[in-house]
Amino acid sequence: MEREGRTVPSPEGAVQPRVAQGGRTETARPAGMPGVLSVVSPLSRRWSAWRARRLLNRLERRLHAHGWATQRRYAETPVLLRVFLPEVAIVGESIAAVRDVDGWSYQASTGEWLSSCADPELAATKVTALFAWAGLCSPPNAGHL
């Protein structure tokens, strides 16, 4: 490759220079990788975060109907919905909407799969079961479950 009137050799002699028309020396240039796209585009990440917030909003409405208090933590990555009893706000569970090969689902911070996002009612029931398993009292509207 010729740069400002001088020849720059290829790294470790990987490409042998050749003489082109006009007597100039040239070597191969890197061509890049055609057809290779970034794995996840920024637009795709924003779309996923928007979708996760929408799905967590649906779950939040169900949890409020059952007497749970919630706090949106949408500035975090991944976006989370914190669920707790109003009287004992220090103890709670964080829920994320995650996407996998089967679609979107709700997952607790313990890693437990709660339900498909198509069934937020089941997720609300399982959250109640998680708190009952931990020995915490159930929400005021637990009789409606």
Confidence of residue 48 (pLDDT cuts 50, 70, 90): confident
Tokens encoding 93: 């569970």
Share of the chain above pLDDT 70, in %: 61
Whether the predicted pLDDT of 22 surpasses 80: no
State the pLDDT at residue 115. Answer: 94
**pTM summary value:** 0.64
Whether the predicted pLDDT of 8 surpasses 70: no
State the pLDDT at residue 53. Answer: 92
Q: Which amino acid is at 118?
A: A
For helices 42-65 and 120-133, give the axis angle rounded to 10 degrees: 70
In this predicted model, what pLDDT tens digit does every residue of 50-76 receive, in sequence order?
899 999 999 999 999 988 999 999 887
Mean residue pLDDT across the chain: 76
Highest mean pLDDT among 10-14, 30-34, 70-74: 70-74
Of 75, 119, 71, nearest in space to 95 by CA: 71
In this predicted model, what pLDDT tens digit does every residue of 67-102 receive, in sequence order?
899 999 988 788 999 998 888 778 889 999 998 888
**CA–CA distance, 56 with 22 (Å, rounded to integer):** 67
Whether the predicted pLDDT of 35 surpasses 80: no
